[in-house]
């Protein structure tokens, strides 16, 4: 039986022209550039202009991806849109995109998995490709988060931005593509990131609108905690599942939520920052668009090269998470080369595989030990921090000098 591999053959992105800087936000709410940069790493984000929304951004990104792949919209078998901010609750935005692209023979669906949506969708697309069911799938991550932001809530308004990234996943005989994946959900945190009154349980009545219940609410701390745990755990899972260690990984593409979350994960994984793609300083957290925007920029500027093994890891509302190891096959390969490559796949002997498994197991143990140590230091630091914060507040109340703030509250 022929073995098929998934291959990313095209990509395209679109971000709105309108830039909203931290200094602009200073004029809108009680915040400042220094706080935002030190607590998140974000400096600016893109916000849609009048007339732009998820579908229009997706169509622009998708047209670029189709052009790069050298196929037409009519060649698409399936469109998967990852988004929590569709143009309408009904119909699915994926169908409007299908219509606007002219993808007449494509099925279309929308995946709502928060910021993890794109990695969920890419993993899903790879299954349809590897079974041979489909030949070309368009996967889009697109969000217009700005539409759901309460611009008086400094806890969320500073974080998010709009944008769209699209890739074409095609059937290939070249070994590579999706090597391993992991998807999960911790539904016990369902209310940590929520728009309370924009569904069937609670609708945007006058009263709810007055209370801004139709806007995004977030409990930042629990999401932060969840994020730091799954970023390293899920990465270790997919890397070991592929029989690899972090030493074999060429590029890491983390969800672009917060520089501190990324730094903490890198420390636990003992992975260099130079091999990690970060663009959150320019776009903020674009939710389901964040991983594709980072991936596409890295492909465009050559940071992802032929045969690179790349980890993608995302987390978000739900609370969901998804990770994958993807090997990027060379774009140019003749059919003869493909046939040779396939007969050589997998090339590993049973002994090589055993060795790989042992390396992977040793690597997993090392990361688990680092994670335990880091969690233990968090458990000690947090009460200490809260105690000092209490002192600081009391000191302020009594007009006394403030005790010196803890320098690194990073570990929360
Ligand atoms: O895709 C998933 C999306 N969500 C996330 O990734 C969110 C994960 N969580 C986070 O990234 C962080 O929790 C935040 C960046 C949201 C907040 O950072 P934090 O270090 O957890 O800050 P905090 O909420 O504990 O607030 C610390 C202080 C508070 O003041 P007091 O009580 O110490 O006097 C806040 O009122 O900072 C204050 N504060 C701000 N100050 C200036 C909170 N937001 C702001 C702000 N500007 N924008």
Structure tokens at 360: 């992977």
Ligand 1 atom with minimal separation from the 258 CA = 11
* Pairwise pLDDT comparison (403 vs 282), residue with the higher score: 282
Looking at per-residue pLDDT, the higher value among 377 and 310 belongs to 310
Angstrom distance (rounded) from CA 187 to CA 198: 19
Best probe residue, ligand 1, of 117, 155, 191, 228 (max atoms within 8 Å of C-beta): 155
User: Which protein residue has the closest C-alpha to ligand 1 atom 1?
Assistant: 316
**Which residue has its alpha carbon closest to ligand 1 atom 35?**
155
Measured CA to CA, the distance from residue 260 to residue 380 in angstroms comes to 19
Give the closest residue (by CA) to ligand 1 atom 39: 155
Tokens of 396: 């302020």
> Between residues 346 and 377, which one has the greater pLDDT?
377
Looking at the DSSP bridge assignments, the partners of residue 320 are 185, 316
The predicted-structure confidence for 264-296, as pLDDT tens digits, reads as follows 999 999 999 999 999 999 999 999 999 999 999
| Segment 25-54, tens digit of pLDDT | 999 999 999 999 999 999 999 999 999 999
Domains observed in the chain? 5-339 (3.40.47.10)
Tell which one of 25, 34, 37, 39 to mutate to probe ligand 1, the residue whose CB is within 8 A of the most ligand atoms. 39
Where do we find the tokens 């465009």?
Answer: 300
> What is the percentage of the chain residues whose pLDDT exceeds 70?
88
Atom 40 of ligand 1, residue of closest alpha carbon: 31
First vs last C-alpha separation in the chain = 52
Q: Kindly state the tokens that stand for 72.
A: 């037409």
What residues act catalytically? 115, 255, 285
Token pair in block for residue 201: 């349980």
- pLDDT for position 185: 97
Tokens coding 293:
């925007």
Do 412 and 225 form a contact (C-beta atoms < 8 A)? yes
- Paired tokens of 22: 């931290």
Confidence bin at 408 (pLDDT 50/70/90): very low
- Quick count: other Cβ atoms within 10 Å of Cβ 175? 19
- Only one residue has tokens 């055993």, namely 354
| Average pLDDT over every residue of 15-31 | 97
Q: What is the pTM of this model?
A: 0.88
d(CA 363, CA 223): 27
Ligand 1 atom nearest to 160, measured from its CA: 3
Kind of pairing, strands 107-111 and 251-254?
unpaired
Ligand 1, atom 48, residue with closest C-alpha: 154
**What pLDDT digit, counting tens, does each position of 57-109 carry?**
999 999 999 999 999 999 999 999 999 999 999 999 999 999 999 999 999 99
Cα atoms in the 13 Å half-sphere on the side-chain side of 100: 15
Q: pLDDT tens, 174-230? A: 999 999 999 999 999 999 999 999 999 999 999 999 999 999 999 999 999 999 999
Which atom of ligand 1 is closest in space to residue 221's alpha carbon? 13
Q: Which of 332, 262, 361, 259 is nearest to 39 (CA)?
A: 259
Q: Is the dihedral of CA 130, 134, 135, 138 positive or negative?
A: negative
CA of 243 to the centre of ligand 1 (A): 38
pLDDT bin (cut points 50, 70, 90) of residue 337 is: low
Task: Quickly state the pLDDT bin for 372 (edges 50, 70, 90).
Answer: confident
Overall residue count recorded for the chain in this entry: 412
Distance, CA of 121 to CA of 165 (rounded, Å): 12
- The reported pLDDT for the residue numbered 338 is 57
Q: Which of 140, 129, 143, 103 is nearest to 316 (CA)?
A: 143
229 CA → ligand 1 middle, Å: 18
The pLDDT value recorded for residue 194 is 97
Average pLDDT, the chain: 90
Pocket of ligand 1 from Cβ distances under 6 Å: 31, 35, 39-40, 115, 154-155, 158, 218, 220-221, 223-224, 227, 257-258, 285, 316
Residues facing residue 109 across a β-bridge: 80
């Amino acid at each position: 039986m022929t073995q098929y591999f998934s291959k990313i053959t095209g990509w395209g992105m679109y971000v709105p022209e309108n830039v909203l800087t931290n200094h602009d936000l200073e004029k809108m709410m009680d915040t400042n550039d220094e706080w935002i940069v030190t607590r998140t790493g974000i400096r600016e984000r893109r916000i849609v202009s009048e007339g732009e929304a998820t579908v229009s951004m997706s169509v622009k990104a998708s047209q670029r991806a189709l052009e790069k792949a050298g196929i037409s919209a009519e060649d698409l078998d399936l469109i998967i849109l990852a988004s929590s901010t569709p143009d309408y609750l009904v119909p699915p935005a994926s169908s409007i995109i299908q219509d606007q692209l002219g993808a007449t023979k494509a099925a279309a669906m929308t995946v709502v998995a928060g910021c993890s949506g794109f990695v969920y969708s890419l993993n899903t697309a790879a299954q349809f490709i590897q079974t041979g069911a489909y030949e070309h799938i368009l996967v889009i991550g697109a969000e217009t988060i700005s539409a759901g932001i309460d611009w008086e809530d400094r806890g969320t308004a500073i974080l998010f931005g709009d944008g769209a990234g699209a890739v074409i996943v095609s059937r290939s005989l070249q070994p590579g593509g999706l090597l391993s994946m992991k998807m999960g959900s911790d539904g016990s945190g369902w209310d940590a990131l929520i728009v309370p009154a924009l569904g069937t349980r609670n609708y945007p009545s006058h009263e709810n609108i007055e209370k801004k219940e139709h806007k995004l609410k977030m409990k930042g701390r629990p999401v932060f905690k969840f994020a730091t745990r799954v970023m390293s755990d899920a990465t270790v899972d997919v890397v070991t599942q592929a029989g690899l260690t972090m030493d074999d990984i060429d590029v890491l593409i983390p969800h672009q939520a917060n520089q501190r979350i990324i730094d903490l994960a890198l420390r636990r994984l003992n992975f260099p920052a130079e091999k990690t793609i970060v663009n959150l300083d320019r776009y903020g957290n674009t939710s389901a668009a964040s991983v594709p925007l980072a991936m596409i920029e890295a492909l465009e500027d050559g940071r992802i090269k032929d045969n690179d093994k790349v980890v993608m890891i995302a987390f978000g509302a739900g609370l969901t998470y998804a990770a994958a190891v993807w090997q990027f096959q060379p774009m140019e390969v003749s059919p003869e080369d493909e046939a040779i490559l396939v007969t050589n796949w997998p090339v590993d002997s049973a002994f090589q595989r055993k060795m790989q498994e042992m390396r992977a197991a040793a690597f997993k143990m090392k990361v688990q030990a680092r994670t335990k140590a880091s969690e233990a230091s968090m458990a000690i630091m947090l009460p200490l921090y809260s105690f000092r914060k209490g002192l600081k507040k009391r000191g302020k109340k009594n007009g006394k000098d403030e005790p010196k703030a803890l320098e690194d509250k990073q570990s929360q």
